[in-house]
Amino acid sequence: MNKQAEFDMARTLVTDEDWWRGAVIYQIYPRSFQDSNGDGIGDLNGITSRLPYVASLGVDAIWISPFFTSPMKDFGYDVSDYRGVDPMFGTLADFDALVETAHALGLRVMIDLVLSHTSDEHPWFLDCAHSRDSEKCDWYVWSDPKPDGTPPNNWLSIFGGSAWTWEPRREQYYLHNFLKTQPDLNFHNPDVQDALLDVTRFWLDRGVDGFRLDTINFYYADKQLRDNPALPKEQRNATIAPSVNPYNHQEHVYSKNQPENLAFLARFRELLDEYPGSAAVGEVGDAQRGLEIMGEYTAGDDRVQMCYAFEFLAKDPLTATRVVEVLNKVDEVAADGWACWAFSNHDVIRHASRWELSDAAMRAYATLILCLRGSVCLYQGEELGLHEADVAFEDLQDPYGIEFWPEFKGRDGCRTPMVWEPSNSHGGFTAGDPWLPVSRDHLHSAVASQEDDPAALLHHYRRAIALRNTHKALSKGSHDGVKAMGDVVHFTRNHDDQTVFCAINLSDEPATLDLPEGSWVTIGSELGSTAPGPDGHVHLGGWQVAIALKT
């Protein structure tokens, strides 16, 4: 790229403050993307070396899962220094080089901020764990026991067991919604909020363009620490926690989703607005009210720009009826907000396996998500059609899987290393021994193999992203309501004077539907989009799509 092109790209990055609306964001799990030094663990320099590949996909931004200093009990989601890079990933100078390279390639950089909790090795926690009189004595959620010595309430941890752990030096319990090594911060304390906003500013000053906010609805706990009510069995689901986890037996009305969170999000957004073009996407972890909370957290201009819930990350088959149900619910509860959709990420079974998708089905689902109203997160390897890796118990790293094995095998199967080439046993990921084994089944889907095959799924993703980027109606437009006719999802997207019709057949059975009134020209032929017949009907083969532009 010449200097003028670099200048033009940088200018675009600065001036398009609305870039996040309809953006395609590529999630990178740093431990498993690319190892640059042979220690078997991916790192920042490895990411930087692969950014030209990411840019070639046509995505708008990358989201990097945590690389902060951490004891790695939850692989970086237990932070011991918010301003430091863990040595296994590199240095702050390496991060600065990554940002510079990304920006030169036209990619924005979003990083994962874990604000709801820290590691129990964070200096803040170490300061308060030994005494009730320390400077930061109430920076975490502490409570006296009940008279009988048991925890203060019935709250449960997502990772199993009570959400409370006894600290003998204080003779109090501390709250942890996740591992006991991940104590929850006390957001009712304004000093905690200030400290976390200072951390946010630190990374904005370093040039990041935004944040993925981990567990955004867990920031506050009920100040009175009231018991959660039981959840009727018929309302339980395994969207957030596996079915064998008793966490699903409660309605978590007091341990998360507190109304005070909106005030903190307003403070957070005010800080973002000091840095034009910066944006945030929040992870809403709730099995019952996820879409409603998404609507609350993204409404107006004083909260976060985007959120995603777990409806499309669930195990339930994503039928046409289910897509309509979810999108109609969004129209009902989040009409003024903005969704960010994902089928896969670092916490769930890869969707190719979760929904048992054929190659043709994977193409149809890729086209679907890239045509829906909202922004999109793609998880590394999704564009290759990677299935969930089978990780043996003796190779497991994830404490979640170790706890609930064998009914729930944890998250390691979606976190195995990226496969770049088929020619060596480690897929081009590392010259050493990888921290998780590279799946042999993944090697035939490696980037190098697919690059040489014009019919490969990788190129389908590129074409679908390019179509989205070419037509503002698909990236930023409204929709007229998502509908289902049998197994076919169909809708129109509108932006200014541009209207695009989309129909996606989510089955292997042929289907026929009417094209809306008007004059249409077929687009997306490179995605297998079919043209309307002379009778004005659209005839779809199994897993086929029809995309048309109104003229």
Each residue's pLDDT tens digit, 303-346 = 999 999 999 999 999 999 999 999 999 999 999 999 999 999 99
State the pLDDT at residue 173.
98
**Contacts of range 472-480, beta carbons closer than 8 Å, 24 or more positions apart:** 472/496, 472/498, 473/498, 473/499, 473/500, 474/22, 474/370, 474/371, 474/500, 474/502, 475/21, 475/22, 475/23, 476/18, 476/21, 476/22, 477/22, 477/373, 478/373, 479/327, 479/372, 479/373
pLDDT (0 to 100) of residue 446: 98
Residue 15: the pLDDT is 66
Residue 292 DSSP SS3: helix
Q: What is the pLDDT of residue 11?
A: 44
Quote the pLDDT of residue 239: 84
- Model pLDDT, residue 2: 54
User: Can you tell me which residue has the tokens 């969170």?
Assistant: 261
Which segments of the chain have a pLDDT < 70? 1-15
What per-residue confidence (pLDDT) applies to 7? 45
Active site residue 205: no
- CA geometry: angle 103, 105, 109, nearest 5 deg: 40
Catalytic residue among 74, 86, 214, 251: 214
Strands 306-308 and 279-283: parallel
In the residue annotation, 403 being an active-site residue is answered as no
**For the chain, what's the residue count?**
551
Predicted pLDDT of residue 423 = 87
According to the model, what pLDDT value does residue 14 have?
Answer: 55
> What domains can be seen in the chain, in order of their start residue?
3-115+190-468 (3.20.20.80), 479-550 (2.60.40.1180)
34 Cβ contact partners less than 8 Å away, ≥ 6 residues apart: 42, 43, 46, 47, 49, 50, 418, 420, 429
* Residue 148: burial class (beta carbons within 10 Å; 0-12, 13-18, 19+): exposed
Q: Which of 205, 234, 274, 394 is catalytic?
A: 274
pTM of the model: 0.96
